[in-house]
Amino acid sequence: MEQISRFISENPQYVFFGGAGLMVVFSIGSFLGWGWATSPSGSRGRWLYNLLGPTGYRIVTGIMFMFLAGVLGYLGMNNGQW
């Protein structure tokens, strides 16, 4: 466990790239309408789902996940420096 912590602290870009990859997977799942990626959870998610409808909710969440993937990818390329 100590080696993993040391590796992550020395190489934070891998954590950012892993997070970006995960956001891309969620974005693809959202755009394709996969249930695990598009099911609203919590009161805010249900409110947004009711406001936008199923298609609008999929598009908005997909764009949000792609934006987060871009931010995490940028941070990964710059070693966590904004």
* Per-domain residue ranges of the chain: 2-77
Alpha helix (H) ranges present in 11-41? 12-32, 35-38
Task: Find, among 47, 70, 71, 9, the residue nearest to 56 by Cα.
Answer: 47
**What is the identity of the amino acid at 60?**
V
Residues in the chain: 82
48 secondary structure, DSSP code? H
Looking at residue 23, its pLDDT comes to 96
The pTM of the full predicted model, rounded to 2 decimals, is: 0.83
Looking at residue 25, its pLDDT comes to 96
Residue 42 CA to residue 18 CA, distance in Å, equals 26
Looking at residue 57, its pLDDT comes to 93
Tokens of 21: 């990859």
